[in-house]
Structure 1
Amino acid sequence: MSSVSNTLIGFLNLLTLLASIPIIGGGLWMAKSTATCESFLQRPLMVLGFVILLISLAGFIGACFHVVWALWVYLVVMLFLIAALLAVTVFGFVVAGPGGGVEVPGRTYREYHLQNYSPWLRKRIENPNYWMTVRSCILGSKACAKIVTWTPVDYWTRDMSPVQSGCCKPPSACNYEAPMMTQDADCYKWNNDPNMLCYECDSCKAGVLEDVRRDWHKLSILNIVMVMLLIGIYFVGCCAFQNAKKADSYYPHGQSVMYKTRPKWNFY
C-alpha cells in the first residue's frame, strides 16, 4: 500500500510536469503575438507554468526516490498554490461578474456600456497608458478590417464580436441628422478614418472589457477544476510524504542487504 501512493504521486506529477510545458509555451507565444489583445494573461500564465513545472519536478523526485525534503517542499508550495488559485478564482468571479451586452432591436449583435462593468475593470481600462497599448493591439489585430466590406444587410443579420461592436462603428442609437447635443457622447467621438473609427469611444473600452469578462469566466471555471485536482494530488502527496518519512526512520543509514544466505564465518 505504501508503494501505491508513491507510484501514483510520481505518475501524476510526471503528467503535470509535461502539462506545464505547453502552458509556458502559450505564455511565450502570447508575448510575441500581435493577433491577441489578451496580453494581461501572459505573465500569470507563464508564472503558473513555471510553478507547476518546479513543484511537479520536486514531487516526482521525492515520491520516486523517497526524498523527504523534496516532498516537504512540494507539499508546502502546493498548499500555497491551492490557496492562490482559490483567491484568484474568487477575485475573478467578483470582478468579472457585472457586465454583458444590451440587445439592439432588429440586430443580431449586442452593444456594450462601460458603466455596466466593475469599478476595478473600469479604472484599469480608463488608464491612458494601458488603453494606448490595448488600442494599438486592436489596430494590429485588424478586427475592424474584417467587417469593412459588410453591406447594410450584413449589419442587420450578422453577428459581431464585442470589440467589433464597440470599436468599429458608432452606437446604433446615433442619428447624425438630429441635433448631436442630445445624443451619446460616443457619437461625437466616431470618425470614419480607419485609424480613428470609435477607438476612443467608451463603447470600445466596454467591448474590450466584455472580452476580458468572458475570458475570466472561462479561467475561473478552469481554476475550480484545477483546485479540485490539486487537492486530490495534495492528499496523495501527504501519504507519499509519510511513507518516505517511515522509510527514512527505519533505515537512517541506508538499507543494508545480505547477499549470502549462509555466510562463511571461518575464513581459514
Structure 2
Amino acid sequence: MYRFSNTVIGFLNLFTLLASIPIIGGGLWMARSTTTCESFLQKPLLLIGFIILIISLAGFIGACFHVAWALWVYLAVMLFLIGGLMALTVFGFVVTGKGGGVDVPGRVYKEYQLENYSPWLRKRIKDPHYWETIRSCILGSKTCAKIAYWTPYDYLERNMSPIQSGCCKPPTSCNYAETTLTQDPDCYRWNNAPNLLCYECDSCKAGVLEGVRRDWHKLSVLNIVMVILLICIYSIGCCAFRNTKRAETDYPHGVPRISKVHPRWDFHWWRWWHHRRHQLY
C-alpha cells in the first residue's frame, strides 16, 4: 500500500498541475485579447493559476521523494486555493451580473449604456489613468479601422462588436441636423478624427465593460469545472496522505523489519512509561 499511496498522490499532483494550465491560459487569453482591452479581472485568475502550478510541483516532488510534510503543505494550500477560486467565481458573477445591450430599431447591432453595469465596474472604468491605458489598447487593436469604410447599408445590415458599437460611431439617436434638441451627451463627445471618434464617450466605456462581462462569464464556467475537479482531487488526496503517513510510522507490506528503521514518535515515551509502571508496582 505504501507505493500505491505515493503513486496515487503523484498522479493527483500531476492532474492538479495539468488543471492549472487552463486557468493560466484563460487569464493570458483575457490579457492578450484585442477586443476587451481590460486587465483587472484576469489578474486574480493568473495569480491562482500560478499558485496551483507551483504547489502542484511541490506536491509532486513530495510524493516522488516520500516527503510527508511537503504533501501536508500541498493539501493545506490546496484547501485555501479551492476557497479562493470559489470566491473569485462568485465575485465575477456578482460584478458582471448586470449589463447587456439595448436593441436599436432597424439595426442588427446593439448599443450599450454605462449605467446598466455594476458600480464596481463603473468606478474602475472611469478612473482616468486606467481608461487612458484601455484607450491606447483600443487604438492599437485597430478595431474601428475595420468599419471605417462601411456604407450606410452596412450599418443597417451588419453587426458590430460592443467596442465597435460604443467607440467607433456616435449613438444612433444623435441628430446633428437639430442643434436645439437635448441629446445624449455622447453626441457632443463624438469627433470624426480617427484618433478621437467616441473614445471619451460613456458608450465606449460601456462597450468595454460588455466585453469584460462576456469573457468573464465564459471563464466562470471554466472556474466551476476547476473547483469541482480540485475538490475531488483534494478528497482523494487526503486519504492517500493518511496512507502515506501511516507508511512512515508502520512497516509497509512486504518490507522486511530491519533494525535501522526509525521507531514511531511515541515509542520512547511508551517505553519510559512502561518502565516506570513496573518500578511503582
- 1:73 is matched with 73
Any gaps of 5 or more consecutive residues in structure 2? 259-281
Distance 1:2 1:180, change over 3 A: farther
**Range 5-14 or range 99-108, more displaced:** 5-14
Distance 1:30 1:226, change over 3 A: closer
Distance 1:48 1:215, change over 3 A: same
- 2:273 is matched with none
Aligned equivalents of 2:246, 2:16: Cα separation in 1: 26
- 2:247 is matched with 247
How far the C-alpha of 1:27 sits from its partner, in A, is 6.0
Residue 84 (str. 1) matches residue 84 (str. 2): yes
Aligned equivalents of 2:235, 2:118: Cα separation in 1: 37
How far the C-alpha of 1:26 sits from its partner, in A, is 7.2
- 2:223 is matched with 223
- 1:177 is matched with 177
- 1:265 is matched with none
Distance 1:180 1:134, change over 3 A: farther
Distance 1:21 1:228, change over 3 A: closer
Residue 142 (str. 1) matches residue 142 (str. 2): yes
User: Residue type of the partner of 1:172?
Assistant: T
Distance 1:30 1:94, change over 3 A: closer
How far the C-alpha of 1:144 sits from its partner, in A, is 0.2
Residue 186 (str. 1) matches residue 186 (str. 2): yes
Aligned equivalents of 2:142, 2:53: Cα separation in 1: 35
Structure-to-structure mapping, 1:1-268, within 5 angstroms:
4=4, 6-18=6-18, 20=20, 35=34, 37-41=37-41, 43-179=43-179, 181-251=181-251
Distance 1:116 1:139, change over 3 A: same
User: Residue type of the partner of 1:169?
Assistant: K
User: Residue type of the partner of 2:120?
Assistant: W
Q: Is the 8 A contact 1:189 1:201 kept in 2?
A: yes
Q: Percent identity?
A: 74
Aligned equivalents of 1:224, 1:3: Cα separation in 2: 32
Distance 1:94 1:42, change over 3 A: closer
Aligned equivalents of 1:28, 1:195: Cα separation in 2: 27
**What is the SS of the residue equivalent to 2:205?**
helix
Q: Is the 8 A contact 1:34 1:137 kept in 2?
A: no
**What is the SS of the residue equivalent to 1:182?**
coil
Q: Is the 8 A contact 2:174 2:183 kept in 1?
A: yes
Aligned equivalents of 2:28, 2:203: Cα separation in 1: 30
Any gaps of 5 or more consecutive residues in structure 1? 259-268
User: What value does the CA root-mean-square deviation take over the aligned residues?
Assistant: 2.5
**Range 13-22 or range 100-109, more displaced:** 13-22
Aligned equivalents of 1:157, 1:25: Cα separation in 2: 35
